[in-house]
């Protein structure tokens, strides 16, 4: 029993240090994608290519992006919170994507202040993240 507990603790620590692979992150995001499509009612064809930089300026797409960020638990006071986002990046992202993604967050999060609407703010923030470093951008 002690061995099992120790093994679980070690695996959790290693997971936090190593992170997930890009493929594992994508699988996790697919679960969130299904939930948010259902919740928001956005047609899948409008969000199918966000990860490739196709950001359709449509209210449902904007709120879908907001739903993903809320599901990732990186939203506080209706804005993406840097500290919460960095914790998720460190826990989930592969090591080779972390530094660039955090730099992108630092550059793009201030964009939220330009918009009074949560959905618009996160839409433009996500678009900025893609434009900052397309190869490091992960999205559902």
For 20-136, CATH number out of 3.40.1050.10, 3.40.50.300, 1.10.238.20, 3.30.70.250 equals 1.10.238.20
CB burial of residue 45 (10 Å; 0-12, 13-18, 19+): exposed
Ranges of each domain in the chain: 20-136
pLDDT averaged per 10 residues, the chain (length 140): 32 51 86 95 96 97 97 94 95 92 96 95 96 92
Residue 69 is predicted with a pLDDT of 96
Residue 23 is predicted with a pLDDT of 84
Q: Within a 10 A sphere around the Cβ of 29, how many other Cβ atoms?
A: 19
Residue 109 is predicted with a pLDDT of 95
Residue 18 is predicted with a pLDDT of 56
Angle between helix 2-18 and helix 82-92 axes, rounded to 10 deg: 110
């Amino acid at each position: 029993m002690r061995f099992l507990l120790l093994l679980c603790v070690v695996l959790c620590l290693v997971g936090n240090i190593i992170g997930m692979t890009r493929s594992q992150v994508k699988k996790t995001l697919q679960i969130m994608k299904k939930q948010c499509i259902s919740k928001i009612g956005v047609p899948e064809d409008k969000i199918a290519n966000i990860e490739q930089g196709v950001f359709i300026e449509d209210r449902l797409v904007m709120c879908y992006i907001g739903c993903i960020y809320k599901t990732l638990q990186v939203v506080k006071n209706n804005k993406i919170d840097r500290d919460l986002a960095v914790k998720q990046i460190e826990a989930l992202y592969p090591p080779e994507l972390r530094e660039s993604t955090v730099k992108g967050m630092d550059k793009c999060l201030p964009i939220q202040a330009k918009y009074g609407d949560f959905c618009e703010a996160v839409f433009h923030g996500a678009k900025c993240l893609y434009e900052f470093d397309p190869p490091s951008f992960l999205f559902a």
